[in-house]
Amino acid sequence: MKQHVVILANSSREGARCIAGIDVQTGEWSRPVPADGGPITWNLRNISGREPELLEIVEMSVQNSGPDLGCQPENRQVNHVPWQHVGAMSVKDVLKYLESDAVILHNDDDSVAIDYFQTIPRQEWKSLQLIKSAKVTFYSTSWQGRKRWRALIHHGDNKRLDLGLTDPMLVERLNRNDGVSGSYLLTVSLAGPWSPDNIQLKRCYKLVAGVIEI
CA distance 73 to 184: 25
Q: State whether 10 and 57 are in the same domain.
A: yes
Where do runs of H (alpha helix) occur along 13-125?
42-45, 91-94
Q: Give the pLDDT of residue 144.
A: 79
Q: State whether 53 and 32 are in the same domain.
A: yes
Q: Which of 93, 116, 137 is the last residue of a domain?
A: 93
Q: State whether 119 and 64 are in the same domain.
A: no
Q: State whether 105 and 69 are in the same domain.
A: no
How does strand 29-33 pair with strand 84-88?
A: unpaired
Q: Give the pLDDT of residue 156.
A: 87
The sign of the torsion formed by the CA atoms of 115, 116, 119, 120 equals negative
Q: Give the pLDDT of residue 180.
A: 81
Q: Give the pLDDT of residue 113.
A: 97
Amino acid letter, 137: T
The sign of the torsion formed by the CA atoms of 71, 108, 185, 210 equals negative
CA distance 46 to 184: 26
For residue 26, the enclosing domain spans 2-93
Domain count, the chain: 2
CA distance 41 to 126: 24
Q: State whether 105 and 201 are in the same domain.
A: yes
Q: Which of 93, 114, 140 is the last residue of a domain?
A: 93
Q: State whether 111 and 207 are in the same domain.
A: yes
Q: Which of 46, 71, 93 is the last residue of a domain?
A: 93
Q: State whether 83 and 175 are in the same domain.
A: no
pLDDT along the chain (214 residues), means of 10: 97 92 98 94 95 98 96 97 97 96 96 97 97 92 88 92 97 90 93 88 96 94
Q: Give the pLDDT of residue 162.
A: 97
Q: State whether 107 and 206 are in the same domain.
A: yes
Q: State whether 75 and 111 are in the same domain.
A: no
3-state SS, residue 132 = strand
- Cα 179 to its chain centre, rounded Å, is 23
Q: State whether 85 and 110 are in the same domain.
A: no
Say what the pTM is: 0.95
Q: State whether 89 and 106 are in the same domain.
A: no
